[in-house]
Structure 1
Amino acid sequence: MGKKRLILALGLTIALAAGCGQEMQEPEQADTEAAAEQEELVQEELVQEEPVQERLEQEEEAELEAWMQQIKDEIESAEAEADRLDEKIGSMDLATQMDLNQTSFEIYTVWDDVLNTIWGILKENMEEASMEQLTEEEQYWISRKEAAVQEAGALFEGGSAWPLVVNSEAAKLTRYRVYELAAEAGVPMDTQIIYDGCYFNWSAHVYKVSVEQMDPSLSYCEIQISNVQDTTFDFTVDELMMTTDERTTILQSSTAVIQDGGRSAVYEGEDFTLTFHFASEPASFPKELTVTGWDKLEGDTFINKNVPGHESG
């Protein structure tokens, strides 16, 4: 009898212990299941978010391409209209000075209108901080353009050709600015503007402002580009003494043929062939070029110090 009670007591204890063990395990299992369910929900949300994020990126890319294409179309349309006006003058047998003045104003208006249109596109699509910086640059460019136009017309003040001169200069500079804004916005243009003016040696400039005792035997070169046309430009190369800036022309006026939509140009001389490489990056365009084919020019960067808004040197 005593043994039976003992066995029953032991059996009850074991049963209770087993029951407690099951009760203790149930919360752990519940936690594991809850964590698994939560992980599954997170994965489902990520799977759902991926197409959404991808779609948003595609929409942003499509929007960027759309307004860049709009800028490109505006520029191509302006080029076509300006060419039409030029041909109009060329087809006149007896074009008067008044005709020339009027047409030059119309050409300037074409480029001024497209500049304002592109500005509106940029203002609508660029980030606020970038637009603020661009606005400051634009205000400075306007002041420089006005000064350059006045300087160009100074010799013709009061004459019948004065409107033609100032309108032509204003049209040229405004067209340049249109292409510059397109480059800064990253618009892939088929044509790149080449700026006339003096391109100075940047390394020589840094040397002159940083070294107190300069070697009098050292010299450097400058490139003067002028008469820029659609397919050619003229240039000369001067060599200057580092300490005195005494100047000697070492390559007389020559003509280079523009290639690759204005990104390069080639001069084929008797002694060597020069290739001009014009910078396309927004940070460097429109002011920098390098030259290969002549050791006097190779390895240096030449910077145009006359581009409105980019003066230096």
Structure 2
Amino acid sequence: MKEMNRFKAILPIIGICTLVAGCTPTQQSGADDGLFQNQTENEQAAAESEAEAENSDSSAGGEETAQDSQSEKAEAAEGDNGGAPESTDGQVPESLSKVVAGDGKISLDFYNNNILKNVDYPSDIEELIQLVPADKEYSLSELMAEFNKTFNDENNYFQHGDITGAEYAYLDCGSDGVKELAIRLTGPFVEQEGEATLILKDIEGKAQIVYGFENWSRSFTEINNCGLISGSGSNGASNHGVDMSIIDADGNYRFGYYEEQEYDLDSFAMMREHDEFDASSLDGAICIYTLRLSDYQDEGSDQDWYYSYEVVDKENYEKIDVPNLYTDSEYKKIMDSFKEYSFISMDELEKVKAEKLSSLGVTDEIMNAMGPSFEPVDPAVTGFTSAAVETAPEEKVVKDAEPIVDDGSVQSEIAMVEAKHQEYENLDWEAMPQQEMNITSYEMFELWDNELNSVWSKLTEEVTPEKKEELLKDQREWIKRKEAAVKEAGSEALGGTLQPLLENGTGWSYTRKRVYYLAGVLAETRGESFEVPAEVEESFKDIDQ
């Protein structure tokens, strides 16, 4: 994500290793619930949640990503569009359709004059485009060839390798009825099997690159059909960030906001002046939010920064409601130690964010737009001749699932989740690039993690206090075993592109089996019958319960 690039440029100078990580897909709808949650937090929340706990927060990001995959495919249109799929909802300029067809040229003029000249800490895609000679225009295949030349130049620090995939989709940035073009490339962007997305707009008859961003296993950015951009990343173990921006109808990148969430009060205090304080006796932990409304490369005033905080459980990070939190509480006394900072309520912080996006013209339609549906660029245009392109993979035969009747029983509830799981299992994993596998495996984890929270909430409402205490103790022990297994799995590819896939796979495997176990306990509590299907039981027989 763009906002993380300054850390890559600054921290090595002072001898600090920085981990720029983006672990979860953010929701493109703009909802904030779940943006900062991670696997450990969700699962620990399951162990501690009470009847009134809200179990939907962690699902928002996954649901939005699922919406991306369900986006309706645009129909192919012949003629002026060069055979490119065109949405009937807007006009596709000829310069863009020609790029897709291989007949058009791409200009870097707009990008060089409006993006690169204002960049102090360029992202990888910005540095890559900086090295492309700007004195000519390029077809898509020619631009890819320039990228490949840079990747494989020993004098550059980029990952070596070639672009292996190219897809495209049409957007309607600013929702003005005139289409823009998104080109998504797979290749050594930041790491092998990374992705870069270029946004092109017709400006005075030329296909101009107006924006670009990259995705890799630890950082995720996406753009929706109306040009709204959301990104997420991590600045360390306790600090997570998200940014929102938009490409408007004129092709201009307009910064919305950047928000950090710091779980460690001492880390927040480390770089700031404050009076002495002692928060060790407090029941909850203080989580601090920092909101910036100006791009870090702009010279914003102090009014561009806002601060807030909330209180969370020290073990499971569940939010704790504290009476008079911002007016008369022990937590406020701690935050008053930071005399140079004014803290507002979380409700006020959310209002500031909403007002900033509204000032950029972000309407409900733009906010809630779905993600684009990408189509492969014709191999004749890209020049790809790999076996994957020349020979269609053998189709996987998948039996139609038996219809599930939702009769309100525990059995039917789990069966519906299992059916969704099988949809993921039946995807063509061999054809997926690494980034997509990482994201999809996280969605699988999230599917079962959400169900774990749901089952746990019902179970703790219905069992006796003695049974609940017994289950809590057991659940805490299970979380420790599961987290150890996830860590061990990830260590096999520590720092590599496979690490998220290995960790997510272990996470959903353990969580899936735990859901079946707790569902059995819930069914028994209700006097219902419950069976684990034989093939399901066989699939996780080697997984710790």
Band of TM-score, shorter chain: 0.3 to 0.5
Q: Say which structure is richer in helix.
A: 1
Larger Rg: 1
